């Protein structure tokens, strides 16, 4: 491979890496921002008899945009991993970045279930169990309980 081609490959990989890391940092900060005071924000919407526009805005910022950001981040991750796979052993990549790429490879989305005859059949039970154990972590259970309690209280308040 020509030196010019190697330099181009190096620049392209570095660009994709920077692009991914910037977006990853943005997504992580957005997640943290959305978590702040979620039960209180829901309570306020109910107490103030939120308008349809306010509810749509809340749903957009807490559900829809994070999903879009997640899909974008996944697309950037896939692009970065393809660049890494194509350039590994050809360009210089620090040990730290190599480790990060290997970890990203391990986290690459793979189906956890397959569908046979209309039923979801587990394929990756270890990963499913790991995700379920995370969902059962005390902080998530506490948040879920607070949200459900707030929703119940609001429904009673409105007389539903």
Percentage above 90 pLDDT, the chain: 36
Q: Are 52 and 6 in contact (CB under 8 A)?
A: no
Query: Could you report the per-residue pLDDT of 96-137, keeping only the tens digit for each?
Result: 999 999 988 887 767 788 899 999 999 888 878 877 776 666
Domain boundary residue, one of 87, 109, 131: 109
Q: What is the pLDDT of residue 155?
A: 66
Domain boundary residue, one of 68, 94, 109: 109
Given a cut of 70, whether residue 142 has pLDDT beyond it is: no
Q: What is the pLDDT of residue 154?
A: 67
Q: What is the mean pLDDT of residues 78-101?
A: 93
Domain boundary residue, one of 109, 133, 150: 109
Task: Among 24-28, 43-47, 79-83, 105-109, name the one with the lowest average pLDDT.
Answer: 105-109
Q: What is the pLDDT of residue 138?
A: 65
Q: How confident is the model at residue 58 (pLDDT cuts 50, 70, 90)?
A: confident
Residues 64 and 40 in one domain: yes
Residues 4 and 78 in one domain: yes
Residues 100 and 124 in one domain: no
Residues 88 and 149 in one domain: no
Q: What is the mean pLDDT of residues 70-80?
A: 93
Report H helices in 36-137. 38-47, 52-59, 65-87, 95-106, 125-135
Given a cut of 60, whether residue 160 has pLDDT beyond it is: no
| Domain count for the chain | 2
Residues 20 and 47 in one domain: yes
Q: Which domain holds residue 67?
A: 1-109
Percentage above 70 pLDDT, the chain: 82
Per residue in 82-120, is it b (16+ CB within 10 Å) or e — as a string? ebbeebeeebebeeeeeebbeebeeeeeeeeeeeeeeee
């Amino acid at each position: 491979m020509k030196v010019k081609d190697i330099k181009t490959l190096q620049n392209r990989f570095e660009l994709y890496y920077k692009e991914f890391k910037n977006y990853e940092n943005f997504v992580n900060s957005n997640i943290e921002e959305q978590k702040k005071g979620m039960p209180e924000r829901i309570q306020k919407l109910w107490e103030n008899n939120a308008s349809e526009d306010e509810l749509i805005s809340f749903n957009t910022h807490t559900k829809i945009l994070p999903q879009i950001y997640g899909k974008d981040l996944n697309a950037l991750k896939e692009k970065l991993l393809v660049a890494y796979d194509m350039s590994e052993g050809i360009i210089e990549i620090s040990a730290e970045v190599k480790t990060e790429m290997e970890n990203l490879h391990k986290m690459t989305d793979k189906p956890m279930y397959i569908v046979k005859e209309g039923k979801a059949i587990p394929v990756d039970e270890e990963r499913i169990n790991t995700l379920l154990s995370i969902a059962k972590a005390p902080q998530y259970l506490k948040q879920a309980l607070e949200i459900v309690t707030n929703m119940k209280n609001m429904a009673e308040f409105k007389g539903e």
